[in-house]
Amino acid sequence: MLFTELRFFAFYAIVFALYWVLRQQRQRVLVLTIASFIFYGAWDWRFLGLILFVIGVAYIAQRALLHEALQTKRRWIIGLAVGLMLTTLGVFKYFDFFADSLVALLQTLGIPVSQPLVQIILPVGISFFTFQAIGYVVDVARKEFDEPEDLLSVAFFIAFFPQLVAGPIVRALDFFPQIKDKKLLRDVPWSGVIVMFAGGFFKKAVIADNLARFYVDPVFAEPGAYTNEAIILGVFAYAAQIYCDFSGYSDMAIAVSRSFGFQLPVNFKAPYFSTSITVFWRRWHISLSHWLRDYLYISLGGNRGGNVKTYRNLMLTMVLGGLWHGASWNFLFWGYIHGAILTIERLFNIPRLSEKNSILRLLFGALTFYLVCIAWVFFRSANFEVSTFMVSSMLGGKNSGSMTFSAVDWGLMAGLLGLHYLVFRFKIGMRIASWPAPIVAALAGLWIAILLPLIPNEAQPFIYFQF
């Protein structure tokens, strides 16, 4: 077991014990809020000021909005609050990207400039808690709340540690009522919590990390050494890795939150069985998809104003969604690919066409998966040169590489997809979650003990921690 994982389990056990010893809800929320700051400070204590700043802006803005009736002043308040939070995100996440891009452009034009001396460290999880805070302020501005929340509740909502660094992104309208709902604390489904956490741990520590070790990292590090077929398998492996890595974290975050009596939204629903990119985004990183729809796409105008504006808003939403994932041209292009396909699907009504019969569902499902994998190449690759080479190889381009993978490796990929389908189709986890909690806990302990030898010695960080 990795040392970092042991530290987290020890931290969780202490917080869990303190939480359930206390009887007053206010005291419990205070304990979880303090624990959340300790959790975030453990990554780098210097960035505690950053999350406190975002909390302060959200708290002041919501009180100001709820006490101001004049629409002009309300627009100023929302503009200032969102502007401050986006500026904070922009400085920490995008300063280096735009500075390096400007230097490269000027050098191309023959203007002698040097690289900036300042290099800004990216705080872990900054995109998640900033987006969550912005969503709350916008909901208040849209008059979704009648009364202001106190500072402790706002801090708890933004800093809640299970989903602080990698989501799911939680809506204030869903979360704040839970802080006051004591019924949730009495009705914790302990068997379901154990099953979800054990399943998420398995997806991350065993499947995702081993796929990265044996297939993904070697292929993406030196794609020119591999055959076209091997590159395709490496990309398929990355598709499985990023799903198991991120959905595994989401499952564990949901389980840990539920053990404290709080419900987080489901973040994945078998996305690789989608029959169109439109359906894929209804099943992949659902909390981000909803956030982009509710706070960006609709704010841009949504589908109001005719088809041309709708397609423009769709493209802008996906390109900015790509930029949200990372400060590089690769992420921008990844968002552009998805935006372009979504636009084409909307233009020709592909989602409805793909569901007409089982043959079309199978064909469109395979095509959708391959298109998603092609886009993943830009998401994972270090630069455009590597991306274009790998995509060319996936489409049958010339390649002098000789290294390949065996039929066993291809069987493993097919087996993973089949296993996921069986678990999803027959709801195996839900069936086990109906068993008595002591039996489920004993089985989970045995399950994790069996898995320990399969966990790589070198930890693979969660992919979405970098966003």
The residue type at 342: L
Residues in contact with 432: Cβ distance below 8 Å, sequence separation at least 6, in sequence order: 191, 195, 440, 443
State the Rg of the chain over Cα.
Answer: 23
**pLDDT of 273 strictly over 50:** yes
Cα separation, 135 vs 265, in Å, equals: 15
Comparing C-alpha atoms, which of 214, 219, 211 is closest to residue 237? Answer: 211
Q: What is the pLDDT of residues 385-444, one digit of tens each?
A: 999 999 999 998 888 888 999 999 999 888 888 888 887 777 788 888 888 888 988 988
> Tokens for 236?
């398929």
Cα separation, 221 vs 212, in Å, equals: 11
Residues in contact with 331: Cβ distance below 8 Å, sequence separation at least 6, in sequence order: 322, 323, 325, 378, 379
Q: What is the pLDDT of residues 39-54, one digit of tens each?
A: 999 888 888 999 999 9
Q: How many CA atoms lie within 13 A of 279 on its CB side?
A: 21
> Tokens for 138?
């916008």
Q: What is the DSSP string of 216-280?
A: IHHHHH-GGGB-HHHHHHHHHHHHHHHHHHHHHHHHHHHHHHHHTT-------S-GGG-SSHHHH
What letters, b where the CB count within 10 A reaches 16 and e where it falls short, cover 408-424?
ebeebbeebbeebeeee
Residue length, the chain? 467
Cα separation, 291 vs 302, in Å, equals: 13
Residue 188 is predicted with a pLDDT of 81
Share of the chain above pLDDT 90, in %: 56
Cα separation, 306 vs 196, in Å, equals: 44
Residue 4 is predicted with a pLDDT of 60
**pLDDT of 314 strictly over 60:** yes
Cα separation, 238 vs 251, in Å, equals: 19
Domain ranges of the chain: 25-180, 190-275+354-466
Cα separation, 176 vs 179, in Å, equals: 5
Burial of 321 (0-12, 13-18, 19+ CB in 10 A): buried
| CB 350 within 8 Å of CB 276 | yes
3-state secondary structure of 403: strand
**What mean pLDDT value characterizes the chain?**
88
Q: Could you tell me the CA-to-CA distances from 352 to 110, 236, 311, 312, 427 in Å, in that order?
A: 52, 26, 18, 22, 26
Q: What is the pLDDT of residues 121-168, one digit of tens each?
A: 778 888 899 999 999 999 999 999 888 899 999 999 999 999 988 879
Cα separation, 81 vs 387, in Å, equals: 38
**pLDDT of 1 strictly over 50:** no
**pLDDT of 184 strictly over 70:** no
Q: Which of 285, 290, 325, 420 is catalytic?
A: 325
Cα separation, 168 vs 128, in Å, equals: 8
What are the phi and psi torsion angles at 427 (to 5°)?
50, 50
Residue 422 is predicted with a pLDDT of 80
Within a 10 A sphere around the Cβ of 187, how many other Cβ atoms?
9
Query: Rounded to two decimals, what is the model's pTM?
Result: 0.92
Query: Residue 25: which pLDDT band, with cuts at 50, 70 and 90?
Result: confident
Query: Is 285 a residue of the active site?
Result: no
Cα separation, 317 vs 302, in Å, equals: 10
Choice between 355 and 51, residue whose per-residue pLDDT is larger: 51
